[in-house]
Structures are given as structure tokens and as C-alpha cells.
Amino acid sequence: MNAAADLIVLSGLRKSYNLGRPNEAEVLHGLNLRLGRGEFVALIGPSGSGKSTLLNILGLLERATAGSYRLLDQETSTLGEEALTLRRREALGFVFQFHHLLPAFSALENVTLPALMREGRVSASARAAATAMLTAVGLADALHKRPGELSGGMQQRVAISRALVNEPPLVLADEPTGNLDRASSDEVFRVMRRMHGERGTAFLVVTHDPRLADRCDRVIELVDGQIESDTTRPAAVAAPGQPG
């Protein structure tokens, strides 16, 4: 892969907990990984394999113990907390299994939260961007509804809109369909694939659902803190009735 196309480069990445204590444990064992711009990747593996730890490090929520993590050609291990926060806001979007929407806020207000946190206010342009994003995921009629008035699939589409509204180059999705029924899972996955296709946003999706992993363009399997396999698929299928 061309270095200019690299979004993420991991070299010898290690993560240990309880450093210097009798119960010290290394969770990630020297990972080497490249993720390119515009990729749609599944991260799979059994419980306890280190997926959540890796996602937290990629999301700049935890620091690695050793090794290198370059994000957009910038070494992150040397950044201070303020710089890490800024890089996280600029480069990353997050979607979780539980949508983490504020129940007292409307869908539109939830999607404008990144602008509020970044600028301390919601400008007309930020509100317009949030409206356009919600419209793009099929929620034009739900702008002013609160999360409790929306189905699980609709709530997750609001969360996807919030992750994408600032147009980050990478979205990290941690079991984004894990709390949904099959129909809602397919609906949410179709939205992510469509946003990927239309916007060129890279997605790294942690999933236990083999159906969804099979519809990703690349599948990375993590076992016992090491990459067991890394497979690029020649043609993935997004979901029934949806082009890959």
C-alpha cells in the first residue's frame, strides 16, 4: 500500500495492564497493521482476544505500552492529552453497540453535539450539516424526535450521523449492530456501506456477526492479542438488495 494512502500504521504495538505488579498482563503482543484510506474492514475474534483494547488505542482513548501508532502520518505516542483530543475530534468518528444518545435531546440536537463540544455553540452551518446528515440516512422526518420515540435501528442511524457529521476520514464502530434484531442490523449495515461508498469514509467495524463480517471488504481476525489472519475479499456484498 502506498504510504500516502495509509490512514493507520501500527508497528510492534503492545499493550499491558497493571504494569510492574504481580498481576501484570500483556493483552496485545506486537501488532503490525496498516489500514488504508477508504477501506471497509471487519475486526473479528473471540471474547478476550483484545479487540476492545485495540479499538480504544486506535480511538486515542488509551495509550499503547510500546510500539508505534501513526494516524494520518502522525506519531500519536508523543502527543499530549490536548493534542490527542484535537486529533480524535478531527480524524475519528465513533459508533458503539449502545448508541449513547442523550435522551432529552432530539435527533438533530444529538447530531450537533460534536459541533457544540468543538466550538462551544451550534452555528447555523453546523445545524445545516446535521440536518443534511440525518436526511442522508433516511431520518428527515425524525429530526425533532427524541431517542425514546425512535426504533433501535433509527437510534443507531442517529449515532452514525453523529459520527459522520464532521466528515472524519475514519469511523470506528464497536459492535454497532450487536443490540439490534436481524432486520435492523441489516438496515444499519446498509447505511454504513452507503455512507462509505458515497463519502469515501473508512470504517473499522468490530463484530461478532459472521454475516456482517462476510460483507466487509477486508476481515482481520485477532486471537490472543495477535493478528491470526488478514483477508481482503475481491467482492463483498453489503446486504441483501444492496450493492457492496
Q: What domains appear along the chain, each with residue ranges and CATH number?
A: 3-17+26-100+168-232 (3.40.50.300)
Given this model, what pLDDT does residue 188 score?
Answer: 80
Beta strands in the chain (DSSP E): 6-17, 25-36, 40-44, 66-71, 74-75, 92-95, 170-174, 202-206, 218-223, 226-232
Distance from C-alpha of 133 to C-alpha of 142, rounded to nearest angstrom: 12
Q: Can you read off the three cell numbers belonging to residue 41? A: 474492514
Which whole-number Å values give the CA distances from 64 to 39, 44, 60, 76, 129, in the listed order?
23, 20, 9, 10, 34
What pLDDT was estimated at residue 187? 81
Burial level of 213, CB count in 10 A (0-12/13-18/19+)?
buried
pLDDT beneath 50, residues of the chain: 1-3, 236-244
In tens, the pLDDT along 29-60 reads 999 999 999 999 999 998 888 898 999 999 99
3-state secondary structure of 170: strand
pLDDT at 241: 41
